Structure 1
Amino acid sequence: MENAQHRLREFYVRDKFSCLTLPRATVLLPLVVRGGRLHLLLTVRSMQVPGGLRGARSFPGNHCAAETRDVCSPCRKPKTNFEAGQMSNLVTPVVGFVEDTFQVTPNPDEVSEVFVVPLEYFVKPLNYNTFAYKTSSGYLTQIHCFT
């Protein structure tokens, strides 16, 4: 875990994008060690969640209040209903290391399942795909998907 923490520091951007005026959002990437390997903790959204993402797999996270200056503050009490499909937000990923003794107690109104996926899964080309997406404002971007 120490090696992963050290390597992640290389990618810390501080306030590099603070000049952008987009709405802010944060997504928590909770990592846990299982069997000596790093895993990413993910959730499945409940069928009771309003909107089009019922049953979707998601990262824990939530929207930042306009007055929030510390990018990590929304993750102190993360919600698991971040709208990952919103393309007009400046999304800041926050990596957290979860103790292996942590017991997950999701809100059943928001989360129907919590599961972990080995990080190696995300680097296998057969599991990864991209496609072009044009936003309502005409901006063309790439969507990254894992199967």
Structure 2
Amino acid sequence: MDAMPSAPPHDTPEAATGAGAPLPLDDFLVRARTRLLAEPDLSGDPPRGDHELTPEYRVLVDALPVRAAAVLIPVIARPRPSVLLTLRSANLNSHPGQIAFPGGRIDPEDTGPLDAALREAHEEVGLARDLVTPLGYLDPYLTRTGFRIVPVVGVVRPEFGLELNPDEVDEAFEVPLDFLMSPDNHLRESRESQGLLRTFHAMTYERRRIWGVTAGILRSLYERVYG
């Protein structure tokens, strides 16, 4: 596996474009601890999902078996906070080459979404569990492929190091939180999929295109914490 530095050199404040007003770390932590869900929603009907912008998907999803999953939203505790994202391996059968959070299915041996999200983050990018402090949960997100994802928000100590699993991840990088939480950077795009005109959230930071489920979960974080 290739060792990764904790922060790629091009992800600096000077390199950012379209950033909103600075978001101090302390302010984010206060908001997150008071506005995020204290416990994960494990059984309720997901209010968030691909069906929000494409309602026709809900009928298709309801016909699929529900698969429980969890992702970690790793907020790096820098003076200018950032979010750690991954570029999925181009060799994967599912969503190759797309930007995602560390995460995956909740296995039977996992104690819950938090345990699953931390396990997957360690397996995918080598992020040590003891460097992550959980802050809370977002509403579950239902994907068009039947995954019911519980997003776990955690703050990560900035001295972390990464070791990528090349079978799953081609790259890990950081995006400033103020960019991701600025509604001016939240776009809606459409394209035909499964015989439907699919509308989805999208954000572009430098040359990186964040869209679909990942952008939808980031929009959910914005509405929960800053909306």
User: If the length of structure 1 is used for normalisation, what is the TM-score?
Assistant: 0.75
* CA spacing shift, 1:145–1:66, aligned 2, 3 Å: farther
* CA spacing shift, 1:85–1:47, aligned 2, 3 Å: farther
CA distance in 1, matches of 2:82, 2:173: 10
CA distance in 2, matches of 1:55, 1:103: 22
Q: Where in structure 1 are there 5+ consecutive unaligned residues?
A: none
The aligned counterpart of 1:99 is 157
Larger proportion of helix:
2
Whether 2:87 is the aligned partner of 1:30: answer: no
SS in 2 for 1:6: helix
SS in 1 for 2:28: helix
Whether 2:202 is the aligned partner of 1:145: answer: yes
The aligned counterpart of 1:115 is 173
Which whole-Å deviations, capped at 9, do the CAs of 1:40-64 have from their partners, x for residues lacking one? 001111222223x222111100111
Give RMSD over aligned pairs.
Answer: 3.3
- Relative contact order, higher structure (CA 8 A, sep 6+): 2
The equivalences for 1:1-147 within 5 A come to 1-9=25-33, 10-12=35-37, 14-16=39-41, 18-20=43-45, 22-34=66-78, 36-51=79-94, 53-65=95-107, 70-78=112-120, 79-80=123-124, 86-87=143-144, 88-131=146-189, 143-147=200-204
CA distance in 1, matches of 2:160, 2:110: 27
SS in 1 for 2:69: strand
Which whole-Å deviations, capped at 9, do the CAs of 1:103-138 have from their partners, x for residues lacking one? 0101112111110000111233443212468986x9
Report how many residues are paired: 141
* CA spacing shift, 1:15–1:57, aligned 2, 3 Å: closer
* CA spacing shift, 1:109–1:89, aligned 2, 3 Å: closer
Is the CA contact (8 Å cut-off) linking 2:106 and 2:112 kept in structure 1? no
In percent, how many aligned pairs have the same letter? 29
| Amino acid aligned to 1:14 | E
Larger proportion of strand:
1
SS in 2 for 1:26: strand
